[in-house]
Amino acid sequence: MSRQQLLATDRRTVGAVMGLVSAACFGTLAIFGKIATEVGLSTTTLLVFRFLVGAALLWAGLAVTGRATLLDRRESRAALALGVLYALFTGFYFWGLLFIPAGLTGLVFYTYPVYVYVLAVWLLDEPLSGRKVGALALALGGVGLIVGGDPDAVDFVGVALVLLAALGLAGYVVGSRAALATADSDAFSGTVLVGTAGAFLLFGGGTGRLTLPSGLDQWLVVLGIGAIGTAVPMFLYIAALDRIQASHASVLGTAEPLVTVVLGIVVLGEAPSWLLFVGGGLILAGVLIIQTDS
């Protein structure tokens, strides 16, 4: 193997590791959300500071690596609008997290690639695939198994809110695809975070729900979710896409709900069940088919 081939292989390996670590970091979001409740941190305060810290750290990282640029006015408006959408579905996600366990939240939320496909067929003229339709049924069947298998153990309100969050993320992904046809991905991601932080700041200030975190525990949760759950994974994901194909990064993203389930059991003491594992397996299988079917 030539030196050039070795360098290309090393570059792909580094990209794969970045994508995997990014997914694992995103998998901590539900865990931070549950811990925030335990230390008395309100959801609004958590999310305001999550995105303020995350945006500041991401832009700092881009500046240090020489990748910080500004979008033009049209691109900025699109990114800020998508930032507001990001805030909306994030709110649904953390609201749903108040009703259901972290592991279940992670799995239900990860059905979003299925809805991305549906929206892409509807809005972007992506061809309809029988294999992907089957994958859609598989993933939704997994959700149905988890929810319907033991209805007394699952709060339907929480599941519905997380499904709305997944639909919101699907809309964000489809909108981003269109915007990124011309916009710089680094600056676009950073501007989206600014829009999200601004939306939560306005909501928190306008409703009187925003307070300063108090005590070491609350500040550690805020800094943790801002860095580990937001800035670091976004930065790594962007960097990974410079080294590996987007389809490969998407497949690596299946680590996200797995990390959430494992951390929910280990850190939060959530009780595992065969319904969670079987239903989760169906969801991941459906998502993998969606992501790998060309």
Q: How far apart are the C-alpha atoms of 117 and 204, rounded to whole Å?
A: 33
User: How would you class 141 by CB atoms within 10 Å of its CB: exposed for 0-12, middle for 13-18, buried for 19 or more?
Assistant: middle
Residue 275 falls in which region: left (phi positive, over 0), alpha (psi -120 to 50) or beta: alpha
Q: How far apart are the C-alpha atoms of 293 and 280, rounded to whole Å?
A: 20
pLDDT band at 37 (very low <50, low <70, confident <90, very high): very high
Q: How far apart are the C-alpha atoms of 74 and 188, rounded to whole Å?
A: 12
Pick the closest to residue 97 from 278, 270, 277, 281 (CA basis). Answer: 270
Confidence check: pLDDT of 135 > 60: yes
What's the mean pLDDT in 99-125?
84
Q: Which two tokens stand for residue 180?
A: 């990124």
**pLDDT tens track for 72-92:** 889 899 999 999 999 999 999
Q: How far apart are the C-alpha atoms of 169 and 152, rounded to whole Å?
A: 28
Check residue 246 and give its pLDDT: 59
Q: Are 57 and 165 in contact (CB under 8 A)?
A: no
What's the mean pLDDT in 15-28?
89
Q: Are 105 and 30 in contact (CB under 8 A)?
A: yes
Confidence check: pLDDT of 36 > 70: yes
Mean pLDDT score across all residues of the chain: 86
Q: How far is CA 191 from CA 69, 198, 255, in A?
A: 10, 11, 26
The one-character DSSP state at 183 is: S
The one-character DSSP state at 152 is: G
Q: Which amino acid is at 138?
A: L
pLDDT band at 11 (very low <50, low <70, confident <90, very high): confident
Q: How far apart are the C-alpha atoms of 270 and 141, rounded to whole Å?
A: 23
Q: How far apart are the C-alpha atoms of 211 and 214, rounded to whole Å?
A: 9
Check residue 9 and give its pLDDT: 59
Check residue 248 and give its pLDDT: 66
Give the count of beta carbons closer than 10 Å to the beta carbon of residue 261: 24
Q: Is the pTM of this model over 0.85?
A: yes
Check residue 191 and give its pLDDT: 93
Q: Which two tokens stand for residue 163?
A: 């499904």
Q: Which two tokens stand for residue 256?
A: 């996200």
The one-character DSSP state at 153 is: G
Q: How far apart are the C-alpha atoms of 34 and 43, rounded to whole Å?
A: 10
What's the mean pLDDT in 108-117?
85
Check residue 210 and give its pLDDT: 92
pLDDT band at 226 (very low <50, low <70, confident <90, very high): very high
